[in-house]
Structure 1
Amino acid sequence: MKVSTLFAASLIALGSQHAHAASLDVKITNLTQGIYFTPILIAAHNADSHLFMSGMAASPELQTMAEGGNIAGLSGIIDAVSGNKVENPASGLLAPAQSTMAMLDTTDGNQYLSITAMMLPTNDGFVGLDSWMIPTTPGSYDIYLNAYDAGTEANNELIIEGSGAPGTPGIPAAPGMGAGMNGTGVTNSETNQTIHIHRGSLGDDDMEGGKSDLNNTVHRWLNPVAKVTVTVK
């Protein structure tokens, strides 16, 4: 009887583990008017792992992504915990009002979904999803994502060629139309040095000066900035 009980318990545990492996379709839509998403990282991982956590200081890997769009470090974190991932499903920038699709097969234990991408033009803003539990019931699920500030760089709102690396202030690029130049800077400090909901860009209407190089009719946004539709097969 003891052997049968142990065998049954093992089968239940094995079935529970396999129930958490999933085949997903992930659709990401940029909901903004004038903000672009840099290469996106979609990852499934265990309960103890995070790409970022609101209220905590950014990791060096998160800072590198938020300031320059480089997801290699965060991708390495997922590899280190035997996670599953899709890198750069849009094959470059995801433009305003555009969508991208990805297929992701998860393995046992990787029950949580996270997503990150830098937002351009911002200093250290990113769109993010932190550890959303993947449902075990098949169906489609909609998630709306906010913009976060990594807290690692002052939001000076200045487009500076050669910026984008940690410790090099400035916005590395402004895709699309409407950006200005020769701004003096909105601020030179960041009082909240933890990851937090982004307060948004101020911008101005002076394309050849003013405080900001961002256009207040193009580069401002309200949350949410992205919609994610996860289809569990």
Structure 2
Amino acid sequence: MTLEIDTGTGLMPVHEWNPEGDGPGVLLLQEIFGVSGYIRQRAADLAALGYYVVAPEIYWRLDDTELDESAPDLLEKAMALLGRLDWDLAVSDAVAALEYLRGRDAGTGIVGFCFGGGLGFNVAAASPPDVLVSYYGSALPQLLELAPKVTAPSLHHFGDADTYLNADDVIPALGDVEIHRYPGAGHAFDNPMPAFHHAEASELAWRRTVAFLSRELPTSQGS
């Protein structure tokens, strides 16, 4: 299902899962590939745990945003799309979605992957949720000065074979948070695309994510 959230400068399309649920709300933030089939599956996974999940179309202000997930130039086109995105507007749009969840008064969490992992970190600094889960947040190296403002219990996942993001450059600044590293896993290791996927790391990281959320943002199903 979809809804629209008022950002103050327009109505942002947002996908929702478990719309009748009364559990805590989770803001799910996309990779550079948009609200893809993979992101939709992770949303369904979270909804199955009892969360009310929203995934905003962060590219909504741009034109020509359609991406063919099977195209050989997918990564190139997604990177070009990201290059046209206004980061500050993306943060404020995501904050609007978080505020929508906060209005339900049932608890709020952020789960972000890659681009969304960094965006979620920035959102958590601007408008603290109850919990944050960040998978290899690609913008983290540029956001570390915000770390003191990220006060929510946080979980970070990093692949040790990530050639895009060096965890050693990021982890010391994150403070007292839960961090897991995955030997042999590269960037976007949770994405099922063969070019990225690391099955063992993906399964273990998700198990840890579920355990973390169950502890820090429990639902009636997990109690």
Q: Is this a same-fold pair by TM over 0.5?
A: no
Bigger radius of gyration, 1 or 2?
1
**Structure with the larger helix share:** 2
**Structure with the larger strand share:** 1
What is the TM-score when the length of structure 2 is the normalising length?
A: 0.30
What is the TM-score when the length of structure 1 is the normalising length?
A: 0.29
Larger RCO: Structure 1 or Structure 2 (Cα < 8 Å, ≥ 6 residues apart)?
1
